[in-house]
């Protein structure tokens, strides 16, 4: 028994922080739960290490429609005066159309729609491509979560300092006056 040594990393002790039963609606994940092999391949293809909270969530529910569909914004966007609408979180994978490396993944938005190459586009909005949510890697450390507004000359608005704060800040759009 003493001869058996396990190599543990700090993430082995970390409790999952986001509950997929609260984050996602009941439509099911876009992809199978994330594996280490897929994670390494996706991160290599994207050129960025993904936030731990995003990885933890994808290991239990890999992408899909969000249960809460809005996030406060500090200023007006093309969507509304005080928030952005959010539809789906991309899976960490490459098979589904809306997975990070899928046909409508992060590279697609940069190459085909001209979105700025600031990091990884992780969530779509109800505007059918006219605004997106991204992990912004322009500063050192964990990436911030930003809204990129194509209709407003790709204006970038900070939504949250990190992925976990972004997801916990999601609310139901019914909390807003949607006629603004």
- The mean per-residue pLDDT over the stretch 149-161 comes to 96
3-state secondary structure of 140: coil
- The mean per-residue pLDDT over the stretch 113-134 comes to 95
Distance CA 155, CA 167 (A): 21
- Collect all residues with Cβ–Cβ distance below 8 Å to 9 and sequence separation of at least 6: none
Q: Are strands 155-160 and 144-149 parallel, antiparallel or unpaired?
A: antiparallel
Count Cα atoms within 13 angstroms, Cβ side, for 71.
Answer: 27
pLDDT in tens, 14-39: 555 799 999 999 998 999 999 999 99
Supply the pTM of this predicted model: 0.88
- Collect all residues with Cβ–Cβ distance below 8 Å to 146 and sequence separation of at least 6: 118, 133, 134, 136, 156, 157, 158, 159
3-state secondary structure of 171: strand
Q: How confident is the model at residue 2 (pLDDT cuts 50, 70, 90)?
A: very low
Q: Is the pLDDT of residue 82 over 90?
A: yes
Phi then psi for residue 132, to 5 deg, are: -140, 165
Q: Which of 52-66, 69-83, 138-152, 166-180 has the lowest mean pLDDT?
A: 166-180
């Amino acid at each position: 028994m003493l001869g058996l040594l396990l190599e543990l990393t700090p993430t082995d002790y970390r409790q999952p922080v986001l509950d997929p039963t609260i984050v996602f609606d009941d439509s099911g994940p876009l992809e199978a739960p994330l594996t280490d092999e897929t994670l390494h391949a996706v991160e290599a293809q994207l050129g960025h290490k993904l936030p731990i909270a995003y990885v933890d969530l994808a290991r239990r529910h890999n992408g899909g429609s969000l249960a809460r569909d809005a996030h406060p914004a500090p200023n007006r966007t093309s969507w509304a005066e005080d928030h952005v609408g959010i539809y789906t979180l991309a899976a960490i994978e490459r098979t589904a159309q809306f997975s990070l490396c899928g046909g409508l993944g992060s590279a697609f938005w940069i190459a085909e729609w001209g979105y700025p190459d600031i990091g990884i586009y992780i969530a779509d909005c109800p505007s059918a491509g006219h605004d997106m949510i991204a992990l912004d890697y322009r500063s050192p450390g964990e990436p911030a979560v930003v809204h990129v507004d194509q209709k407003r000359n790709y204006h970038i608005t900070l939504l949250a300092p990190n992925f976990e704060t972004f997801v916990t800040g999601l609310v139901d759009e019914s909390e807003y006056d949607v006629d603004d």
